[in-house]
Amino acid sequence: MSEPTLLNNEIRDWLMDCGLFDQLQLADFAAASGYFSISTVAEGEAIFREGDAGSFMCILHTGQVAVQKTGPDGQVITMATLRSGRAFGEMAVLDGERRSATCIAASNCQLLNLGKDSLEKMLNDAPKIAAKIIRALAVSLSKRLRMADGQLAAQQV
Protein backbone atom coordinates (compact mmCIF):
# COMPACT_ATOMS: atom_id res chain seq x y z
CA MET A 1 0.00 0.00 0.00
CA SER A 2 1.32 3.46 -0.88
CA GLU A 3 1.94 6.27 1.60
CA PRO A 4 -1.23 8.15 2.53
CA THR A 5 -1.52 11.55 0.89
CA LEU A 6 -2.89 14.70 2.48
CA LEU A 7 -6.02 14.23 0.37
CA ASN A 8 -6.41 10.63 1.56
CA ASN A 9 -6.02 11.82 5.15
CA GLU A 10 -8.73 14.43 4.60
CA ILE A 11 -11.04 11.84 3.05
CA ARG A 12 -10.30 9.44 5.94
CA ASP A 13 -11.23 12.17 8.44
CA TRP A 14 -14.44 12.98 6.55
CA LEU A 15 -15.40 9.28 6.47
CA MET A 16 -14.79 9.06 10.22
CA ASP A 17 -16.86 12.21 10.85
CA CYS A 18 -19.93 11.18 8.83
CA GLY A 19 -21.08 8.60 11.39
CA LEU A 20 -22.21 6.18 8.71
CA PHE A 21 -19.38 3.70 9.09
CA ASP A 22 -19.22 3.07 12.84
CA GLN A 23 -18.16 -0.57 12.26
CA LEU A 24 -14.89 0.42 10.58
CA GLN A 25 -11.57 0.43 12.42
CA LEU A 26 -9.02 3.24 11.99
CA ALA A 27 -7.00 1.16 9.51
CA ASP A 28 -10.23 0.45 7.54
CA PHE A 29 -10.92 4.19 7.17
CA ALA A 30 -7.36 4.75 5.94
CA ALA A 31 -7.66 1.93 3.38
CA ALA A 32 -11.14 3.00 2.23
CA SER A 33 -10.08 6.62 1.73
CA GLY A 34 -8.18 5.71 -1.43
CA TYR A 35 -11.40 4.70 -3.16
CA PHE A 36 -13.33 7.93 -2.47
CA SER A 37 -12.94 11.37 -4.02
CA ILE A 38 -14.02 14.87 -2.96
CA SER A 39 -16.14 17.23 -5.03
CA THR A 40 -17.58 20.69 -4.53
CA VAL A 41 -21.03 21.54 -5.89
CA ALA A 42 -22.40 25.08 -6.13
CA GLU A 43 -25.85 25.99 -4.81
CA GLY A 44 -28.53 25.23 -7.40
CA GLU A 45 -26.39 22.75 -9.34
CA ALA A 46 -27.79 19.28 -10.08
CA ILE A 47 -25.68 16.48 -8.63
CA PHE A 48 -27.69 13.97 -10.66
CA ARG A 49 -31.16 13.75 -12.18
CA GLU A 50 -34.01 11.26 -11.90
CA GLY A 51 -33.60 8.61 -14.61
CA ASP A 52 -29.83 9.10 -15.02
CA ALA A 53 -27.58 6.05 -14.94
CA GLY A 54 -26.14 5.68 -11.44
CA SER A 55 -22.36 5.59 -11.60
CA PHE A 56 -21.54 7.06 -8.16
CA MET A 57 -22.90 7.74 -4.69
CA CYS A 58 -22.23 10.66 -2.35
CA ILE A 59 -21.85 11.41 1.33
CA LEU A 60 -22.70 15.00 2.19
CA HIS A 61 -19.87 16.57 4.19
CA THR A 62 -21.05 20.20 4.26
CA GLY A 63 -24.12 21.95 2.89
CA GLN A 64 -27.62 20.75 2.10
CA VAL A 65 -29.05 18.70 -0.77
CA ALA A 66 -32.68 18.74 -1.93
CA VAL A 67 -34.05 15.36 -3.06
CA GLN A 68 -36.75 15.90 -5.68
CA LYS A 69 -39.13 13.70 -7.67
CA THR A 70 -41.37 14.58 -10.57
CA GLY A 71 -45.03 13.82 -9.89
CA PRO A 72 -47.45 12.34 -12.44
CA ASP A 73 -48.61 15.87 -13.30
CA GLY A 74 -45.03 16.96 -14.05
CA GLN A 75 -44.75 19.02 -10.87
CA VAL A 76 -41.45 18.77 -8.96
CA ILE A 77 -41.86 17.66 -5.33
CA THR A 78 -39.09 18.07 -2.75
CA MET A 79 -39.09 14.79 -0.85
CA ALA A 80 -36.33 15.61 1.65
CA THR A 81 -33.52 18.01 2.46
CA LEU A 82 -30.33 16.17 3.38
CA ARG A 83 -27.74 17.47 5.81
CA SER A 84 -24.16 16.61 6.80
CA GLY A 85 -23.26 12.93 7.12
CA ARG A 86 -26.07 11.68 4.92
CA ALA A 87 -25.39 9.24 2.07
CA PHE A 88 -27.39 9.49 -1.14
CA GLY A 89 -27.28 7.93 -4.57
CA GLU A 90 -26.27 4.58 -3.10
CA MET A 91 -29.34 2.72 -4.42
CA ALA A 92 -28.23 3.11 -8.04
CA VAL A 93 -24.63 2.14 -7.20
CA LEU A 94 -25.76 -0.99 -5.36
CA ASP A 95 -28.55 -2.20 -7.66
CA GLY A 96 -27.45 -0.83 -11.05
CA GLU A 97 -30.85 0.77 -11.69
CA ARG A 98 -31.39 4.35 -12.87
CA ARG A 99 -31.61 7.24 -10.41
CA SER A 100 -34.93 7.30 -8.54
CA ALA A 101 -34.78 11.04 -7.77
CA THR A 102 -33.02 14.28 -8.64
CA CYS A 103 -30.54 15.70 -6.13
CA ILE A 104 -29.86 19.45 -6.24
CA ALA A 105 -27.38 21.36 -4.07
CA ALA A 106 -29.63 23.50 -1.84
CA SER A 107 -26.47 25.33 -0.71
CA ASN A 108 -22.79 25.11 -1.60
CA CYS A 109 -21.79 21.51 -0.81
CA GLN A 110 -18.71 19.42 -0.26
CA LEU A 111 -19.23 15.75 -1.09
CA LEU A 112 -17.40 12.49 -0.73
CA ASN A 113 -17.99 10.39 -3.84
CA LEU A 114 -17.68 6.66 -4.33
CA GLY A 115 -17.93 5.48 -7.93
CA LYS A 116 -19.43 2.15 -8.88
CA ASP A 117 -16.08 1.19 -10.44
CA SER A 118 -14.23 2.17 -7.25
CA LEU A 119 -16.61 0.08 -5.16
CA GLU A 120 -15.97 -2.90 -7.46
CA LYS A 121 -12.21 -2.34 -7.15
CA MET A 122 -12.54 -2.16 -3.34
CA LEU A 123 -14.48 -5.44 -3.40
CA ASN A 124 -11.54 -7.05 -5.22
CA ASP A 125 -8.70 -5.34 -3.32
CA ALA A 126 -10.13 -5.14 0.20
CA PRO A 127 -13.26 -7.32 0.38
CA LYS A 128 -13.66 -7.15 4.18
CA ILE A 129 -13.62 -3.35 4.19
CA ALA A 130 -15.94 -3.21 1.15
CA ALA A 131 -18.34 -5.58 2.93
CA LYS A 132 -18.41 -3.27 5.98
CA ILE A 133 -19.11 -0.26 3.71
CA ILE A 134 -21.89 -2.09 1.84
CA ARG A 135 -23.40 -3.32 5.12
CA ALA A 136 -23.43 0.24 6.50
CA LEU A 137 -25.17 1.45 3.34
CA ALA A 138 -27.71 -1.38 3.59
CA VAL A 139 -28.46 -0.50 7.23
CA SER A 140 -28.89 3.16 6.27
CA LEU A 141 -31.25 2.23 3.42
CA SER A 142 -33.18 -0.11 5.72
CA LYS A 143 -33.69 2.68 8.28
CA ARG A 144 -34.94 5.03 5.56
CA LEU A 145 -37.33 2.38 4.23
CA ARG A 146 -38.73 1.74 7.72
CA MET A 147 -39.23 5.49 8.20
CA ALA A 148 -41.00 5.77 4.83
CA ASP A 149 -43.21 2.78 5.72
CA GLY A 150 -44.15 4.50 8.98
CA GLN A 151 -45.00 7.72 7.15
CA LEU A 152 -47.16 5.84 4.65
CA ALA A 153 -48.97 4.00 7.46
CA ALA A 154 -49.60 7.31 9.26
CA GLN A 155 -51.14 8.78 6.10
CA GLN A 156 -53.58 5.85 5.91
CA VAL A 157 -55.04 6.58 9.35
pLDDT in tens, 16-45: 999 899 889 999 999 999 999 999 999 999
Higher pLDDT, 50 or 1: 50
pTM: 0.87
CATH number for 23? 2.60.120.10
DSSP string, 36-103: -EEEEE-TT-EEE-TTSB--EEEEEEES-EEEEEE-TTS-EEEEEEE-TT-EESHHHHHH-PBPSSEE
Structural domain that includes position 43: 1-153
pLDDT in tens, 95-110: 889 999 999 999 999 9
Number of domains in the chain: 1
